[in-house]
């Protein structure tokens, strides 16, 4: 490393986000960049640890699933060699401009320095590298030098589908990506709010992929307005990257009330209206002037908090059935595992600024939804719970005397997803696993139908963008092997 003692000399620092009271008034990204001098100092903290866990990517050990060459490009950034850093970064990562914005940074959780000191700012360095290259016009289309004439359909244009299409296209295959929405990007476009990932960043990458030769078809849902059988017959191979988009529902008396929505619908309609008309068409679920209750304490719930505040909600509460996470690692969560500790994200920061308190209420669940005279939600009844073990099973037990009634005119369900939608699965008679995901062995990605592969959340269940990209890349390699085997049999 260029600065062997950098981790001793420099403290971890991150560029300061836009202040909550300012950013909550618009839909612009809230993260900012360091100066290059400050960034190079942070790169110097990478400590030449010998065995770098940051890019192991193993489920029990943490680290980056993409195997990013993190120590190498940290060193290059420290030396001011950004062009070389970009070359190293792009060897393993298709879209660092996405992961550098929305990934929880598994790499930092397993950083060796993080055992005793704050970890290296890997994520911030990554996004600065790619943004600098885009600003300088150095991210250029890579036109494949040859074509195999093999036709591949990729269904779904989220991070897994885009990564898969990118790799297959570079192998020389003719790739067509099908997307049921009106814009390309999947959850990158409609599942993540603009203030976390500006949609111009997504479109910028899609435009490059188009110039590289990938064909994109929108407003087309395989299994509904395009036959699944037709797709399989028309293409030499198919890779399914449709995501896990079946939301988990809330089971409570009064669920049939109006004014209750899944978080994915709330967020996607907001982004579409924002892109179509800057919200002027009013074709979104508005939180303006309402008491909002969000069920779910994860990232999606946080996005609902931030979006509701920007609408001008009257109040916002985020209910979490799980206990509050500890401030620091517990003995059963050692390094280099991802640290399961409490974090106050942008949505909570904005709620604290606006209302003077954290919107999260832990160990709390909804027992009843109360309607008004018109059948619209007006309140939710809650109770605190404790987690108990009985007969080898752990479940939440209500605590008597902790019942509350919260005013609510908009209830958002952000309880995660159960698996992929099954229309396409049934049409192709695909085998599924115990969790209703498409059955395809990790590392092989092939389904029970020859020439049909599955990757990303559709195969592994709801997960992270970085894991989706990893699976898309790996599935593309397996699909390429299959296509090459077809060519070999044809020649024989």
**Domain assignment present for 141:** no
d(CA 206, CA 222): 21
Tell me the two tokens of residue 251. Answer: 């089971």
Tens of pLDDT, residue by residue over 416-429, are 999 999 999 999 99
In this model, does residue 488 exceed pLDDT 70?
Answer: no
Q: What is the mean pLDDT of the chain?
A: 96
Answer yes or no: do 479 and 340 share one domain. Answer: no
* pLDDT at residue 60 is higher than 70: no
Across 84-94, average pLDDT: 97
pLDDT at 210: 98
Residue 123 has a CB neighbour count (10 Å cut-off) of 22
The number of domains in the chain is 3
Tell me if 130 is assigned to some domain: yes
Q: Is the pLDDT of residue 490 over 60?
A: no
Give residue 249's pLDDT band: very low, low, confident or very high (50, 70, 90): very high
Share of the chain above pLDDT 90, in %: 93
140 in any annotated domain: no
Nearest to 309 by CA among 23, 16, 18: 23
Residue 145 belongs to some domain of the structure: no
Residue 35 CB-density burial (10 A; 0-12 exposed, 13-18 middle, 19+ buried):
exposed
Residue 3 confidence class, pLDDT cut points 50, 70, 90: confident
Cβ atoms of 217 and 188 closer than 8 Å: no
Q: Is the torsion defined by CA of 315, 321, 326, 329 positive or negative? A: negative
- 447 band by pLDDT with thresholds 50, 70 and 90: very high
Flag whether 303 is in a domain. yes
Question: pLDDT digits over 185-216, tens only?
Answer: 999 999 999 999 999 999 999 999 999 999 99
Distance CA 335, CA 119 (A): 11
Alpha helical stretches, state H, 246-360: 263-277, 299-311, 346-355
- In the predicted model, is pLDDT for residue 491 greater than 90? no
| Domain stops at, among 79, 100, 135 | 135
- 315 and 376 part of one domain: yes
Least confident of 72-81, 378-387, 400-409, 483-492: 483-492
Mean pLDDT over 466-481 rounds to 98
Pair 170, 213 in one domain: yes
Do 157 and 198 fall into the same domain? yes
Those residues whose C-beta lies under 8 Å from the C-beta of residue 409, and which sit 6 or more positions away, are: 259, 290, 291, 292, 376, 377, 378
18 pLDDT band (50/70/90 cuts)? very high
Same domain (yes/no): 232, 260: no
Which of 392, 415, 438 is a domain's end point?
415
CA dihedral 330, 334, 335, 338 (to 10 degrees): -70
Residues 359 and 325 in one domain: yes
Whole domain around residue 160: which residue ranges?
151-246+418-491
Q: How far apart are CA 402 and CA 278, in angstroms?
A: 42
pLDDT, residue 392, reads 87
Strand, helix or coil at 394? strand
Using pLDDT thresholds of 50, 70 and 90, give the confidence band for residue 14.
Answer: very high
Average pLDDT over residues 231-239: 97
> Does residue 142 lie in a domain region?
no
pLDDT bucket at 479, cuts 50 / 70 / 90? very high
Averaged pLDDT, 42-62: 85
Q: What phi, psi does 308 have (nearest 5°)?
A: -60, -40
pLDDT tens per residue across span 277-291: 999 999 999 999 999
| Contacts for 438 with CB less than 8 Å, ≥ 6 apart | 240, 420, 425, 430, 431, 432, 447, 454, 458, 459
Q: Is residue 314 located within the same domain as residue 264? A: yes
CA pair distance 42, 7, nearest whole angstrom: 9
Bigger pLDDT: 336 vs 480? 480
CATH of the domain at 45: 1.10.1060.10
| 3-class SS of residue 227 | coil
**160 and 12 in a common domain:** no
> Residue 62: its pLDDT value, please?
81
CATH of the domain at 319: 3.50.50.60
49 with 130, same domain: the answer is yes
Given pLDDT bands bounded at 50, 70 and 90, which one contains residue 1?
Answer: low
For the stretch 295-307, pLDDT in tens is 999 999 999 999 9
Which of 54-58, 104-108, 274-278 has the lowest average pLDDT? 54-58
Whether the per-residue pLDDT at 94 is higher than 70: the answer is yes
Q: Are the CB atoms for 11 and 121 separated by under 8 Å?
A: no
Cβ-based neighbour number of residue 125 at 10 Å? 25
79, 105, 135 — which closes off a domain? 135
pLDDT-derived band of residue 475, with 50, 70 and 90 as boundaries? very high
Residue 172, phi then psi, degrees to nearest 5: 100, 5
Q: pLDDT band at residue 234, thresholds of 50, 70 and 90?
A: very high
- Same structural domain for residues 282 and 400? yes
Give yes or no: residues 382 and 305 share one domain.
yes
Report the distance separating Cα 69 and Cα 47, nearest Å.
Answer: 14
User: Rounded to 5 degrees, what are φ and ψ at 315?
Assistant: -155, 165
pTM of the model: 0.96
Q: pLDDT at residue 460 above 70?
A: yes
Q: Is residue 109 part of a domain?
A: yes
- In a domain, residue 146? The reply is no
Q: Report whether pLDDT(19) > 60.
A: yes
Asked if the model's pLDDT at residue 227 lies above 70, the reply is: yes
122 in the same domain as 32: yes
């Amino acid at each position: 490393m260029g600065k062997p003692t950098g981790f001793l000399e420099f403290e971890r620092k991150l560029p300061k986000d836009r202040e909550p009271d300012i950013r909550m008034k618009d839909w612009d990204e809230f993260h900012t960049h360091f100066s290059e001098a400050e960034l190079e100092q942070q790169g110097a903290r990478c400590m030449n640890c010998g065995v770098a866990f940051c890019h192991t990517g193993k489920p029990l050990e943490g680290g980056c699933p993409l195997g990013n060459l993190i120590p190498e490009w940290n060193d290059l950034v420290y030396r001011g060699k950004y062009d070389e850093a970009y070359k190293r970064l792009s060897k393993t990562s298709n879209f660092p401009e996405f992961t550098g914005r929305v990934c929880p940074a598994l790499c930092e959780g397993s950083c060796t320095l993080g055992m005793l000191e704050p970890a290296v700012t890997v994520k911030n360095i990554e996004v600065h590298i790619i943004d600098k290259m885009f600003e300088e016009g150095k991210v250029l289309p890579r036109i494949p030098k040859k074509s195999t004439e093999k036709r591949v359909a990729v269904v779904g244009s989220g991070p897994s589908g885009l990564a898969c299409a990118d790799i297959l296209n570079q192998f020389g295959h003719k790739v067509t990506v099908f997307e049921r929405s009106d814009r390309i990007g999947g959850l990158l476009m409609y599942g993540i709010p603009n203030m976390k990932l500006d949609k111009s960043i997504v479109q910028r990458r899609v435009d490059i992929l188009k110039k590289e030769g990938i064909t994109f078809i929108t407003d087309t849902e395989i299994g509904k307005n395009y036959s699944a059988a037709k797709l399989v017959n028309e293409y030499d191979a198919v890779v399914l990257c449709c995501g896990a988009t079946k939301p988990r529902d809330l089971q409570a008396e009064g669920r049939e009330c109006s004014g209750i929505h899944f978080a994915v619908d709330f967020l996607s309609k907001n982004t579409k209206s924002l892109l179509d008309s800057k919200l002027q068409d009013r074709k979104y679920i508005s939180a303006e002037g309402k008491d909002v209750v969000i069920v779910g304490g994860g990232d999606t719930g946080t996005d609902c908090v931030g979006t509701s505040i920007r609408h001008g909600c009257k109040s916002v509460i985020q209910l979490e059935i799980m206990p509050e996470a500890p401030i620091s690692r517990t003995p059963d969560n050692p390094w280099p595992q991802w640290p399961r500790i409490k974090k106050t994200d942008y949505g909570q920061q904005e709620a604290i600024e606006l209302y003077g308190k954290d919107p999260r209420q832990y160990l709390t669940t909804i027992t009843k939804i109360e309607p008004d005279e018109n059948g619209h939600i007006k309140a939710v009844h809650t109770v605190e719970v404790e987690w108990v073990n009985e007969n080898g099973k752990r479940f939440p037990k209500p605590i008597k005397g902790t019942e509350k009634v919260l005013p609510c005119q908009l209830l958002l369900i952000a309880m995660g997803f159960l698996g992929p939608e099954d229309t396409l699965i049934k049409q192709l008679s695909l085998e599924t696993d115990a969790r209703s995901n498409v059955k395809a062995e990790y590392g092989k990605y092939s389904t029970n139908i020859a020439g049909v592969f599955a990757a990303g959340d559709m195969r592994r269940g709801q997960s992270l963008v970085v894991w989706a990209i990893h699976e898309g890349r790996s599935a593309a390699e397996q699909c390429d092997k299959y296509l090459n085997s077809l060519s070999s049999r044809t020649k024989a």
